[in-house]
Amino acid sequence: MSFVLGLTGSIGMGKSTTAEMFAEEGLPVWDADATVHRFYQPGQPAALAIGQLFPTAIDKDGSVNRATLRALIQADTTVLDRLNAAVHPLVAADRAQFLASNQTAEIVLLDIPLLYETGLDAACDAVAVVAAPEEVQRQRVLDRGAMTEAEFQTILTRQLPDAEKRKRATYIIPTTSLAAARQAVKDTLASIRRTKDA
């Protein structure tokens, strides 16, 4: 049975980069965002479900227009809950399939932005939280140019505060530099292996 390590952190904290580091260490990685992105492609189940719920968020090719979807969420607080109700069961089934197909791996990583918010920390043996100072986080998000300050603030209100995530974490991975994050990844894996072997 694999040791299940959850990876989470607020937007702009460096979670994707950290997940790549775990993958480089040989861990099978399930990425919640990548799964959603795949499901948003033409003909995929989430795209079809969103087409029923929010027809204006579907492009001519049948894919989900994420910018339109973000604007709908910004304009109506009920949109996100309805979206999650449609998409989360599909994502959960994909995650279960990943775990089943990797059950012989020593350690697997579940990269889930809303791990605590969705209660999925209960499905993990340990949780690693990526963290950086608030001003670094904000700068990273806005430098991407993919969202406005208002959209960033909306996302923050839907996420557990960083301080609370760190308080609940088994491991904290500082992402102020690549070297610090890489070392923390190695230390985390060493600690898990010691625990497993004890």
Domain match, 17 and 42 both: no
Phi, psi of 169 (to 5 degrees): -70, 150
120: domain range?
Answer: 1-28+106-198
Final residue before a domain boundary, out of 101, 134, 161: 101
Q: How far apart are CA 195 and CA 189, in angstroms?
A: 10
Domain match, 62 and 114 both: no
Domain match, 112 and 170 both: yes
Domain match, 130 and 58 both: no
Res 31: pLDDT: 96
Res 198: pLDDT: 64
Final residue before a domain boundary, out of 80, 101, 122: 101
Residue whose C-alpha is closest to residue 42's, from 15, 61, 14, 23: 61
User: Domain count of the chain?
Assistant: 2
> Mind listing the pLDDT tens digit of every residue in the chain (198 residues)?
799 999 999 888 889 999 999 999 999 999 999 999 999 999 999 999 999 999 999 999 999 998 899 889 888 989 988 998 999 899 999 999 999 999 999 999 999 988 998 899 999 999 999 998 888 888 888 788 777 788 787 777 778 888 899 999 999 999 999 999 999 999 999 999 998 776
Domain match, 21 and 112 both: yes
Q: How far apart are CA 172 and CA 163, in angstroms?
A: 11
Domain match, 71 and 168 both: no
CATH code, domain carrying 155 = 3.40.50.300
Q: How far apart are CA 138 and CA 7, in angstroms?
A: 20
Separation in Å, CA 30 to CA 8, 85, 98, 128: 12, 20, 7, 14
Domain match, 167 and 94 both: no
Res 147: pLDDT: 74
Final residue before a domain boundary, out of 48, 66, 101: 101
Domain match, 118 and 197 both: yes
- Tokens 């049975």 map to which residue? 1
Q: What is the identity of the amino acid at 179?
A: A
Res 193: pLDDT: 94
Domain match, 128 and 95 both: no
Domain match, 75 and 141 both: no
DSSP notation for 31-49: EHHHHHHHHTSTTSHHHHH
Domain match, 14 and 41 both: no
Q: pTM for the full model?
A: 0.85
